[in-house]
Amino acid sequence: MAVMYLEYATGKGIDVILAENGVSRDPNAFTDTSDPYILAAYALRITTGTGSGRFTPNGSITRQQAATMLMRACRVLGMDVENAPPSGFADIDRAANWAVDAINFCRANGIMQGVSSTNFAPLSTFTRQESIATFDRMG
């Protein structure tokens, strides 16, 4: 979805976006998918997969993983993703260190909200409904 959003937001096809960023798809990036959109997301550093050369295309992702990928997609769009103010979420200490900046960025830019006014629930599953609402807010 992030790659499709990049196409929508820029009005350009993914091949143009890849070329403008000086990257190309690696057909050997993952052993469990050859989906061109997933390979584009990998080339653009939006995702790194789930480890050991896998993407796990039918798996679920956590809210902290979603925030990280959304922030990376915004970076591709040229947004300044550095130094977002602290989110103020009471459960930010439950997030992985690599996700804290992304959670702060997504909250500061109105891209992702918490599951309540005080909690983000970084380890909870990011649902399809949440992803649709999130991309709509980015829109």
Q: How would you write the pLDDT of the chain (139 residues) with one tens digit per residue? A: 899 999 999 999 999 999 999 999 999 999 999 999 999 999 999 999 999 999 999 999 999 999 999 999 999 999 999 999 999 999 999 999 999 999 999 999 999 999 999 999 999 999 989 998 898 888 7
Cβ atoms of 128 and 63 within 8 Å: the answer is no
Cα–Cα distance between 29 and 82 in angstroms, integer?
27
For the chain, the domains span: 1-59, 61-139
**Tally: H helices and E strands in the chain:** 6, 0
Of 57, 60, 83, the C-alpha closest to 71 is 83
37 burial type by CB count under 10 A (0-12 exposed, 13-18 middle, 19+ buried):
middle
Residues 6 or more apart whose Cβ sits within 8 Å of residue 135: 1, 5
Cα–Cα distance between 48 and 41 in angstroms, integer?
8
